[in-house]
Structure 1
Amino acid sequence: MWMYLGLLAALFLGFHNLCKKHAVQGNEVFPVLLGTIGTAFLLFLPLYGISVVSPEMAQTQGFYITPLPWASHGFIFIKSMIMAASWLLAYQALKHLPITLVTPIRSAGPFFTFIGALLIYQEKPGPWQWVGFFLILLSVIGYSRIGKKEGIHFGRNKWVFAIIGATFLGASSGLYDKFLVQYVDLNPQTLLFWFCFYTVLILLLILAATWFPYPAKRKAFVWRWSIPAVGFLLLGADYFYLKALEDPEALIMLLSAIKRSQLIIAVVVGGLIFKEKNKRKKLIPLTGILIGVFLILYT
């Protein structure tokens, strides 16, 4: 069951990436990010209210947000800091790089998760799963060569380093999620509610210094329908992902790889919508990534 939940998370993530590209194009990145996370927080706010006013009904319906000790709040705040840094780097990179390059670089995330799962959680993949992970990594390197034809030199472009940093931080957060769900024993809705709350606070502090005091920057910001859509889609993806992690048999390395099937939507559909170059050539490493995912799932 947890694998199917992972596939649902991948579906939401694929459309999330498309909406995110639309939201940041020619736009201020920080307020866009605040709008997306703020939307997710507002969607959860009624559930929190019901959990406080009528906890029995919330428990019966399965969306009870549990009271937490301060230590658990501290754990969630750490996750918010990690993901805020990851998103800020990723959104800036997405603003300056084609989605058909950003998404495949992000697909290296399972490799970092794979190493962490081995060292921290002692998860044990099979031989073909090793092959699958290295195939994914080599395919991402193939994308870097295609990127040079679009004038994007991976060794000298700061936005490439930004998306690599975002990928590493995102993988670290994925490993941390398993700790929060299986060891701190947080349910998905409680974790997501407080995560959104603390991330909004972090972003407000950043915007108070970098955006609110500057009228020209405020006027340059354009509100788009895709901003709340990103928040809704991200919330759905994270919820299904965390629900999958609740299963004691769920392997974080496999879940991370399953989520890479979002590439079908992001590269194929995204390439058509945003009219990006070299779409056919990018299908070659995309095929390598999908074969790698297949080897991980079915061997």
Structure 2
Amino acid sequence: MWMYLGLLAALFLGLHNLCKKHAVQGNEVFPVLLGTVSSGFLFVAVFYGLSIFYPDYALEHGYNFQKISWQTHGFIFIKSAIMASSWILAYQALKHLPITIVTPIRSAGPFFTFIGAILIYQEKPSPLQWIGFFLIIFSVMLYSKIGKKEGINFKRNKWIFAIIGATFLGASSGLYDKFLIQNLSLNPQTLQFWFCLYTILILLVILTITWFPYAEKRKAFKFRWSIIAVGILLQAADYFYFKALQDPDALIMLLSAIKRSQILIAVVVGGLVFKEQNKRKKLVPLAGIMIGVFLILYSN
């Protein structure tokens, strides 16, 4: 069951990435990020309100929010700091790079998650899973050669390093999620509510320094419907992902790989919507990534 939940998370993440590309075009990254996180928070807050005013109804429909200790709040704040850093780097890179380059690099996330899962959680991959893992990494490397044809030098472009950093931090957060869900026994909605709240507070501090004091930047900001869509779609994806992690049999390395299937939406649909270059050539490494994901998923 947890694998199907992972696929649902991948579906919403793919749609989320398309909306995110639309939201950041011509916009400052920080206010867009604050808008997306805030819209996601308001979405979850509706259910939080239900749990307060209609506790019996909320409990019956699975909207119960846990009371947690200050120590647990601290653990959630750490996740917020990690993901805020990852999103800031990812949004900046997405603003300056084609989505068909950014998304496949993000697909290298299983590399870091795979290693972490082995070292921290002692998850043991099979030989086929190792083959699938390296096939994904090799396919991502092929994208770098295609990227050079679009004027993107992977060794000198700072936005490439930004998206690599975002990928590493995102993978670290994924490993941390397993600790929060399984070791601290947090349910998805509780984690989502407090995670979003703390992330908003972090972003407000950043915006107070970099954006709010500057009238020109505020006037240049363009609100788009996709900002709201990004937040809601991300919360939907996180909910199914956290639900999958609640299963004690769930392997974080496999869930991370399953989530990479979102690139099918981002590369194929995104390439058509945003009319980016070399779409056909990008299908070759895309196929390699999908085969790698397939080997990881079905090797058992």
TM-score range, shorter chain: over 0.9
Could you state the TM-score of these two structures normalised by the residue count of structure 2?
0.99
Q: Distance between the aligned counterparts of 2:260 and 2:110, measured in 1?
A: 8
The one-letter code matched in structure 2 to 1:62 is: G
Tell me whether 1:84 sits opposite 2:123 in the alignment. no
Tell me whether 1:39 sits opposite 2:39 in the alignment. yes
Q: Distance between the aligned counterparts of 2:255 and 2:190, measured in 1?
A: 21
Q: Distance between the aligned counterparts of 1:53 and 1:71, measured in 2?
A: 27
SS in 1 for 2:276: coil
Q: Distance between the aligned counterparts of 1:162 and 1:56, measured in 2?
A: 46
- Name 1:26's counterpart in structure 2: 26
Q: Deviations over 1:233-255 (max 9, x none)?
A: 10010000000000000000000
Q: Distance between the aligned counterparts of 2:61 and 2:148, measured in 1?
A: 52
Q: Distance between the aligned counterparts of 2:22 and 2:54, measured in 1?
A: 39
Q: Deviations over 1:11-48 (max 9, x none)?
A: 00001000000000111110000000000111111222
SS in 2 for 1:153: coil
Tell me whether 1:185 sits opposite 2:185 in the alignment. yes
Q: Deviations over 1:31-73 (max 9, x none)?
A: 0000000001111112222323343332221011111100110
By how many angstroms is 1:154 displaced? 0.5
The one-letter code matched in structure 2 to 1:119 is: L
- Name 1:246's counterpart in structure 2: 246
- Name 2:216's counterpart in structure 1: 216
> 1:3-152 to 2 correspondence within 5 Å?
3-152=3-152
Q: Distance between the aligned counterparts of 2:132 and 2:24, measured in 1?
A: 33
Asked if structure 2 preserves the Cα contact closer than 8 Å seen for 1:110 and 1:133, the reply is: yes
Percent identity for Structure 1 against Structure 2: 76
SS in 1 for 2:154: coil
Unpaired runs of 5+ residues, structure 1, are: none
- Name 2:265's counterpart in structure 1: 265
Q: Deviations over 1:241-285 (max 9, x none)?
A: 000000000000000000111111000000000010010100000
By how many angstroms is 1:295 displaced? 0.3
Q: Distance between the aligned counterparts of 1:234 and 1:201, measured in 2?
A: 18
Asked if structure 2 preserves the Cα contact closer than 8 Å seen for 1:132 and 1:293, the reply is: yes
Q: Distance between the aligned counterparts of 2:240 and 2:73, measured in 1?
A: 22
> 1:271-290 to 2 correspondence within 5 Å?
271-290=271-290
Instruction: Report how many residues are paired.
Output: 299
> 1:189-200 to 2 correspondence within 5 Å?
189-200=189-200
- Name 1:229's counterpart in structure 2: 229
Q: Which moved more, 1:158-167 or 1:54-63?
A: 54-63
Asked if structure 2 preserves the Cα contact closer than 8 Å seen for 1:139 and 1:289, the reply is: yes
Q: Distance between the aligned counterparts of 1:180 and 1:27, measured in 2?
A: 34
Q: Which moved more, 1:143-152 or 1:57-66?
A: 57-66
Q: Deviations over 1:129-155 (max 9, x none)?
A: 000000000000000011011110000
Unpaired runs of 5+ residues, structure 2, are: none
Q: Which runs of 4+ in 1 moved over 6 A?
A: none
- Name 1:159's counterpart in structure 2: 159
Q: Distance between the aligned counterparts of 1:151 and 1:166, measured in 2?
A: 22
CA-based RMSD? 0.7
The one-letter code matched in structure 1 to 2:84 is: A
Q: Distance between the aligned counterparts of 2:65 and 2:296, measured in 1?
A: 34
Asked if structure 2 preserves the Cα contact closer than 8 Å seen for 1:113 and 1:253, the reply is: yes
- Name 2:256's counterpart in structure 1: 256
Tell me whether 1:174 sits opposite 2:152 in the alignment. no
Q: Deviations over 1:65-103 (max 9, x none)?
A: 111100110000000000000000000000000000000
By how many angstroms is 1:296 displaced? 0.4
By how many angstroms is 1:10 displaced? 0.4
SS in 1 for 2:26: coil
